[in-house]
């Protein structure tokens, strides 16, 4: 979960930078930057789903596991429909969006199970690692930095400012964890 939070905090704001440094404008100025940004968000859904389903499958009885599998089958059918629809309308971003919706459905089901298991005495907020607030602020700061300081037409000249802001945010985030 912690790795997912770091990726969602810094990944979207540095997707363009990474692609431009590695491949130049050939990929950074196309759809690849947007796809990488959405994928960074998808990673946190994967982390949340992994943790919540692992808990569900470790404590559920046989009847609850059967019910969970039936629900997952329904979610798979929904996913297939969303996949076809979203890919036709949004390409690779649509694929990531369909996967994200599928993960959100699965997380929601697991969250309901977990709430019932603990009979309301559980808070998902307590699952967040120390320093998550600083990561949230870092994500907003680096998004602001990319929007305000990073000029795509003057990439090499404005890159040091954007990178310095990101490095400072990362250091503050690491110190808080």
Buried b (16+ CB within 10 A) or exposed e, 67-91: ebeebeeebeeebeebbeebbeebe
Other Cβ atoms less than 10 A from the Cβ of 66: the count is 11
Backbone angles phi, psi at 85, to 5 degrees: -65, -50
pTM: 0.86
Structure confidence at residue 107 as a pLDDT band (50, 70, 90): very high
CA distance 164 to 102: 36
Instruction: Write down the mean pLDDT value for the chain.
Output: 93
Residue 4 has pLDDT above 90, yes or no: no
């Amino acid at each position: 979960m912690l790795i997912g939070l770091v990726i969602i905090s810094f990944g979207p704001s540095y997707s363009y930078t990474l692609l431009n440094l590695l491949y130049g404008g050939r990929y950074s100025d196309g759809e690849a930057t947007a796809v990488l940004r959405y994928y960074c968000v998808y990673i946190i859904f994967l982390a949340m789903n992994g943790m919540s389903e692992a808990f569900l499958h470790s404590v559920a009885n046989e009847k609850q596991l059967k019910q969970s599998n039936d629900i997952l089958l329904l979610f798979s059918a929904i996913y297939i429909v969303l996949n076809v629809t979203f890919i036709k309308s949004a390409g690779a971003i649509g694929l990531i969006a369909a996967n994200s919706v599928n993960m959100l459905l699965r997380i929601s089901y697991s969250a309901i199970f977990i709430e019932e298991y603990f009979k309301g005495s559980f808070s998902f907020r307590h699952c967040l690692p120390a320093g998550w607030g600083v990561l949230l602020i870092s994500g907003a700061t680096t998004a602001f930095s990319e929007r305000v300081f990073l000029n795509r037409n003057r990439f090499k000249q404005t890159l040091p400012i954007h990178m310095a802001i990101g490095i400072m945010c990362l250091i503050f985030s690491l110190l808080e964890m």
